[in-house]
Chain A
Amino acid sequence: MVCRRRLSFRRYSTYRAATLAGIFTNCVFGVIICFTYMAVWRQNPTAGGYDVTDALTYVWLGQAMLMTVAMWSGGATDDLAARIRSGDVALDLHRPVSLLGWYLACDLGRACYHLLTRGVAPTIVGSLLFDLRYPQDALTGLVFALSVTLAVTVSFGVRMLVSASAFWLVDDTGVKQLAAVCAFFFSGMTVPLVLFPGWTGEVASLLPWASYLQVPADVWLGKRTGLDLIGALGFQALWTAILLWACSAVLRLANRKVVVQGG
C-alpha cells in the first residue's frame, strides 16, 4: 500500500506545466479574496471572531486545501467511477487487497503531491505578499498535519460514496456536481463558516465538510486549544470512521450487484 501511494504520487507529478498553471491560478484567486476580506475586516475588525490577519491566513490555507482535499472532486475516486462504467471494477472487487484500502492509498499519494505543490507554493506567495499568522508552537504544527490528513480521509470517504453511486446510476456526473457544490460551500471555501449567521454556522460546522477547511484552519490559527483541540481532531476522526464504514457497506452491497450482473 505504501508502494501504491508512492506510485500515485509519481503519476500526478508527471504534469509539471499543469501544476505551474494551477499554482498561478491559486495565487490569483488568493490575492482577489484577500482584498475582499481586507475590505470586510476593515468594516468589522472582529467579524466571526477573526482579526484581519486570521482572515488573510484563512484565505491562503483555503487555496492550499482546495486541491489537497480535492474539493472539486476528482482524485483517485474518479478512476473508480470510470472503472465502474467500463466494467473493469469487476476485477478490482476480486483482488486480494481491500478495494477501499487500495483507493485510499492512491488518494493519499495524490493528496501528498497536491499538498507539496498546490498547497505549499501559493502559501509561500501569500506569505510574501501579506502579513500572515503561523502556528505558535511545534505541537500546533504537528496537530495541524494530523488534521490535514484527517481532512483528506473525510473527503476521500465522501468522494468514494459519490463514485460508488455509479454502481447504480452508471453516470455519476450529476451527483459529483452536487457533491462539489456542497464541499465548496459547507467547507468554508466560499465564505469562512465563522461568518455564517446564527444557527446556520452551528449546523454547517457539524457537517463532514467542516473537516475540509474550517477545522484545520482553526487549528493552524490557534483558535482551538487544550481539550477543544482534541475535540477538533475527534470530530474529524469520527466522520472518517462513519464515512469509511459507509463506504465499505456500500461496496459490499455493490459487490453483490456486480455478481448478479455477471460482472
Chain B
Amino acid sequence: MTERTLEVKLKSGLQARQAALFVQEANRFSSDIYLEKGTRKVNAKSIMGIMSLAIARGVEVTLSADGHDEEDAVTALSAIIEDEAAG
C-alpha cells in the first residue's frame, strides 16, 4: 500500500476533461487506486466518482494505491494533479 497526500495545483481544479484524463491514466494500472478528499474516498478508476468530489485548486487530497504497480500509479497520478501548467 502506497499513500501520498498532496495539494492540487491544477489551475482550475480537476474539471471534466482533466478528470477524464486522470481516470484514463488510473485505468492503465492494475492496482486498486483511491482518491480521498475530506471524508470522502472514491475509486480513482471511476469517472463519476472522481468528478463528484469537485476537486478545486489548493485542496489537499490523498492518493492511495494497493497492488504490484502501486508506486508507479501514485507517481503518475500525482503528476497530473500537481501539473501547474495544465487546466
Whether both chains belong to one complex is answered with no
> What residues of chain B have their CB less than 8 Å away from a CB belonging to chain A?
none
> What residues of chain A have their CB less than 8 Å away from a CB belonging to chain B?
none
